[in-house]
Structure 1
């Protein structure tokens, strides 16, 4: 994602991921960026620090409490007028699942789109667009991916 953003418009990019491999890939794709292997639950940036924040399917690996704390922090880190992109899944209940990309089960949390939307709005984000896209699981169930684009008031 950093590569696509930087290619569209060169900018200062700060990226954080728990996976060292993803951070290495980001560094090779955008050498001018600042990328860190870190737990997003422990991030600490100054208020009004970023023009935009991209949170792509990261809250799906956090508890409800951790997710709402991270979202509140991210809103504080945005400049007024800053853009927030958030993607997550709506579907079954939280728990450990096996995936096509990991041999070990991974924790996944699912959220209600209208609940996240209400949280964002009540914390100063105007929703610009909210897109739902169904994803057919191998077991025949359907998970809905939700993509929110918002702007800090």
Structure 2
């Protein structure tokens, strides 16, 4: 995603991941980016540090309390008028699963879009777009991937940026 954003406009990208392999891919795709091997649950940035925060399926391996903590921090790190992209899965009950990309069972948590939106709204994020995509699992069950786009507000008033700023997230 960072590579696509950088193709639109020159951006300063900061990224964190627990996977050194994912960070290597990020460094190849965005050579000027700053990337850290770090746990999102322990990440620390100044308040209102970022113009945009991207959480691409990063809460799906966290329990509810951990996910709430990461989301609360992301909102805190986001400047007023800044954008939030969040993707997660709706589906079955949380638990350990094997996947096509890991032979070891991994913990997966499934969230409800309405609950996530409620949490974000309570923390100053207004959703302005939601995309849902069904995904057929190997066992025949269906998982829904949810992609939310939101904007941090000041009180009840949304801070609008010029159109060229909005193009960055498309």
TM-score, normalising length: structure 1 = 0.98
Between stretches 78-87 and 26-35, larger displacement belongs to: 26-35
> How many pairs does the alignment contain?
153
1:52 matched to 2:52:
yes
Q: Deviations over 1:101-129 (max 9, x none)?
A: 01111110000110001100111001110
Q: In angstroms, what is the RMSD of aligned CA positions?
A: 0.7
Structure 1 moving runs of 4+ over 6 Å:
none
Give 5+ residue unaligned stretches, structure 2.
Answer: 154-170
The separation in 1 between residues aligned to 2:28 and 2:134, in whole angstroms, is: 32
Q: Deviations over 1:58-112 (max 9, x none)?
A: 0001010000011001001000000000000000011110000011111100001
Between stretches 131-140 and 143-152, larger displacement belongs to: 131-140
Q: Which residue of the partner structure matches residue 2 of structure 2? A: 2
The separation in 1 between residues aligned to 2:3 and 2:132, in whole angstroms, is: 25
The separation in 2 between residues aligned to 1:43 and 1:9, in whole angstroms, is: 26
Give 5+ residue unaligned stretches, structure 1.
Answer: none
TM-score, normalising length: structure 2 = 0.88
Q: Which residue of the partner structure matches residue 75 of structure 2? A: 75
